Structure 1
Amino acid sequence: MPLRHVLGAAAGALVLALSLPGSASAAQGDFTYVYNDSNGTPQAGQLTDPPSGVCLTLPEVASDWTTPAHTPRNFTGSTATVFAGTDCSGPYFSLRPHVGHASERLKVRSVVFS
């Protein structure tokens, strides 16, 4: 096989590989929750287009001395699994894509998206 055919095939393969869409690495949409600030005033927290498959500790409630977040709402296209502890530890609950939500009784410190 002549060298120009090999080079042409290699170049075509490279162009094809670069033109293929990559896998989705983010849960498209918003994930919201409520947390209390240092004065005890409820505040809205939000993650927009969070990465998939990565445990995310909610920054406002990462310390043990803060009260956990609550009232999570999943408006992303992925299932959100919320955890009572940081680093996706402790009891957990899954929220369906686009419509999953829970009341203020569900305490949350971390989340992972499928």
Structure 2
Amino acid sequence: MRLRNTLLAVTSAIGLVIAVPVSANAADGVFRYTYRADGVEHPGAVVDPKAEECVDLKGATEADAAFSPVNRTNGAAVAFLEFGCVGDVYRVLNPGDSAGRRLHVRSVLFS
């Protein structure tokens, strides 16, 4: 009887681990932004970014930050003015949020 209860408990625990979804390692979707290069505006995007990983935005420079971010991922995006996701100037963009041209961004951290 004890063996059957133990076996049932182990089997149930394994089934529970398999059935419970694992937290996502990525934010599915696209984070869009605009950047300037040689005086011309270009679209930029981060596709299916990894969660909890800082992304320095391609095209953003020390002289010209990216702007007009649009978060079309399923996770929150914290947009930072500085590279490396550091500094006091940041803004949280929830899924579906966008910000205008006045929000400058150089790096983003996704959750």
Shorter-chain TM-score tier:
0.7 to 0.9
TM-score (norm 2): 0.77
Q: Which residue of 1 aligns with 2:84?
A: 87
Q: Which residue of 2 aligns with 1:70?
A: 67
Q: How well do the aligned residues superpose, as a CA RMSD in angstroms?
A: 2.4
**Which digits, 9 at most, give the CA deviation of each residue in 1:2-43, with x for residues without a partner?**
xxxxxxxx9xx8898678654311111110000011x11000
Cα distance, 1:50 vs. partner? 0.6
**Which digits, 9 at most, give the CA deviation of each residue in 1:41-86, with x for residues without a partner?**
000000111111111111222x42x410000000111111100000
CA distance in 1, matches of 2:34, 2:82: 16
The gaps in structure 2 that reach 5 residues or longer are: 1-9
Task: State the number of aligned residues.
Answer: 110
CA distance in 2, matches of 1:16, 1:93: 38
Q: Which amino acid aligns with 1:43?
A: H
SS at match of 1:88: coil
The gaps in structure 1 that reach 5 residues or longer are: 1-9
CA distance in 1, matches of 2:42, 2:108: 18
TM-score (norm 1): 0.75
Q: More strand by proportion, 1 or 2?
A: 2
